[in-house]
A = this chain, B = another copy of it.
Amino acid sequence: MRAITIEPHFTRHAEGSVLISFGDTRVLVTASVEERLPPWLKGKGEGWVTAEYGMLPRATHTRGQREAAKGKQSGRTQEIQRLIGRSLRAVTDLKKLGERQITLDCDVIQADGGTRTAAISGAFVALRIAVNKLMAQGLIKEDPITAQVAAVSCGIHQGTPVLDLDYIEDSGADADANFVLLSNGNIAEAQATAEGATYDEEGLLRLLRLARIGCNQIFEAQLKAIG
């Protein structure tokens, strides 16, 4: 596992914000609380947690085209932001959140593999800070957050299971997995994709166990950042 750092309160306007690093991967996450809801949720007495993901054009080794200039978000971007939103909702009681929306904006400042897992792990801290603020203001009575959530990538690289792949390892991996785990031991999401070679049940379990080790380290770093 590469060095994890989580710098809370990185920006000042957002209700919650962190700069999270997994090695050279750095993601800025802000949590924005808004007293409005998507149309299909109005009047149901519950809130919503959602996420958006972006990568600065030169976060990567070579410059990529700016999605705003291209006029659309790639399939990859949409897939990632849907995953982040689902992961955070897995630890949020939307009824207790009340009729408000929290949006997690995850913007990759620098990329070296694992941007989606860093985003999820950082987003939890930003969400926790924002919810703490709402509770301190008396706007929320009961804590809607039910557990910590963190994510890590792992893969099979030249036959060996590897935790938290950087860009070089990721590009050459035979299988590439992302696990979103809860501090209570449960799984929120498991995704394991064969790239070069397919894998078997035993391989899947070894990746999951590796992910648990990684997530436990992230849970600690999250607690330290929240203070």
Contacts and interface: CB of A to CB of B under 8 A. Distances in A.
Contacts of A68: 54, 66-68, 70, 72-73, 77
Interface stretch (A131-139, A158-166, A186-194): A186-194
Interface stretch (A7-15, A37-45, A117-125, A216-224): A7-15
A87 to B, nearest CB: 9
Contact of A109 (B28, B63, B74, B111): B28
Contacts of A92: none
Interface residues of A, number: 65
A115 interface: no
B75 A105 contact: no
Interface string A39-71: 000000000000010101111111100111111
Interface string A101-123: 00101010111000000000000
A227 interface: no
Main secondary structure of the interface of A (DSSP, over half): mixed
A31 to B, nearest CB: 8
Contact of A205 (B17, B70, B201): B201
Interface in A172-200: 182, 184-194, 198-200
A145 interface: no
Contacts of A58: 11, 13-14, 17, 30, 32, 105
